[in-house]
Amino acid sequence: MKKKLFLAFLCVVLISAAVLCDAQNNIRSVPAAPAYNNKVESTIPKVTTPSAKTFIKNDVKLKQGETKFLELTEKEESILTGFASSDTDIAEVDSGGRVDAISTGTAKITANFSDKSKAEYKIIVTEADKKDIDRFSTCITANDNILYKNKKSGSNKLYEIKVNRRQNCVTVYTYDKNGKYTVPVRAMVCSTGANNSTITGTYGIYFKNEWHALYQGVYGHYVSGISGDYLFHSVPYYTANSDDIEIEEFNKLGRQASLGCVRLAASDTKWIYDNCPNNTQVTIYDDDDPGPLGKPETIKISDKNCGWDPTDNSSDNPYYSKTPVISGANDCIIKKGDQFYPLGGVSAVDTCSNDITNRITVTGNVVPSRTGRYKVTYSVTDVLNRTDSVDITVTVQ
């Protein structure tokens, strides 16, 4: 009996060992799990944000001191948020798209829009042209290039002078490529003789005198003889002194007023005195057309206590350094939607204190419907080519 129980127990042990061994063999046969890969491809689709559009506008070329307004489409205007300059030492820009050329170089102006797009302008600033401006005459000049060429040729007869008696205008001509005096270079306003008392015809300058006694005990300055007692000269002076002019006679320039001579402002008669030697041809005629350059304007003396011709270039002249003056142009603040009246309360006078408010020009682009800071420039030039300029800032809140 005990032997049977022992055999049964032995069988159970052998069977269990076999099962355990088979299980272990099965475990070892299971392949190892793959190593973890941290570069797992995402199954979430990628989302890309489109970049904001940039519109490249045409280059803007300016000379130092010039101003230009940037052009935008109607849609761009409606969504504009502002302008910016990459270099304000070269080009400045205000809220209205006004670009001022400050110094030579290149800058980028960017217009930004509410839809995140933008427009870019390349601003190219070059040196300003150098101009010789006569600040002591109301004359009109032209054809400087031809005159310069003729001067270089060494000719001692550069000019011919024509006096339109009816229009009280003197036009000076230089010669063309064929040697004919057809090229107008200077026009000057004058006063010929009252009641057509100035002679007509063709003559030649025959003498010169810086001061010369005239009829009625007065004196002419910078005198060039035309024929006999008919002369080019200044408006009469009571004495041979530059501060003793007949003011009422000066203010008649532009209409017949003399006893027969051709009167001009001091700067213009001096120009003839200095540039037109003896034998320069002078033709006096009548015509409704003042001449190819037109008739210059005049300036009036308003100060009855100052006996100087305002065109006299003497440094002793009280008018020597005077310029026009703009008044009433000041920085201002307006509310969004309000109106801006650029000329409200603004006025100007010329070198001789005459009102020239109607000659004021206003440069600016104030947009009352859009908040920002806007630059506005007031400028005025009188008939002596003298200027005044005032910049203001208009702030729209």
At 195, list the tokens: 């009641």
Q: Which residues pair with 309 in a beta bridge?
A: none
Q: Which residues contact 51 (CB under 8 A, 6 or more apart)?
A: none
Mean of the per-residue pLDDT values for the chain?
90
> What is the mean pLDDT of the segment spanning 10-24?
42
| Residue pLDDT, tens place only, 217-248 | 999 999 999 999 999 999 999 999 999 999 99
Please say if the pLDDT value at position 49 is more than 70.
no
Please say if the pLDDT value at position 51 is more than 70.
no
| Residue pLDDT, tens place only, 275-309 | 999 999 999 999 999 999 999 999 999 999 999 99
Looking only at the bridges linking them, the beta strands covering 281-285 and 201-204 are antiparallel
Give 225: exposed, middle or buried? Use CB within 10 Å, 0-12, 13-18, 19+.
buried
Q: Which residues contact 130 (CB under 8 A, 6 or more apart)?
A: none
> What is the mean pLDDT of the segment spanning 262-266?
98
Under DSSP, the state recorded for 311 is: T
The span from the CA of 136 to the CA of 309, in Å, is 10
Q: pLDDT tier at 174 (50, 70, 90 boundaries)?
A: very high
Give 1: exposed, middle or buried? Use CB within 10 Å, 0-12, 13-18, 19+.
exposed
* Cβ contact 98:393 at 8 Å: no
Please say if the pLDDT value at position 360 is more than 90.
yes
At 93, list the tokens: 């820009």
> pTM value?
0.83
- pLDDT score for 178: 96
Q: Which residues contact 127 (CB under 8 A, 6 or more apart)?
A: 63, 64, 104
Under DSSP, the state recorded for 20 is: H
| Residue pLDDT, tens place only, 118-167 | 999 999 999 999 888 899 999 999 999 999 999 999 888 999 999 999 99
Q: How far is CA 176 from the centre of its chain?
A: 32
The span from the CA of 100 to the CA of 88, in Å, is 9
- pLDDT score for 154: 86
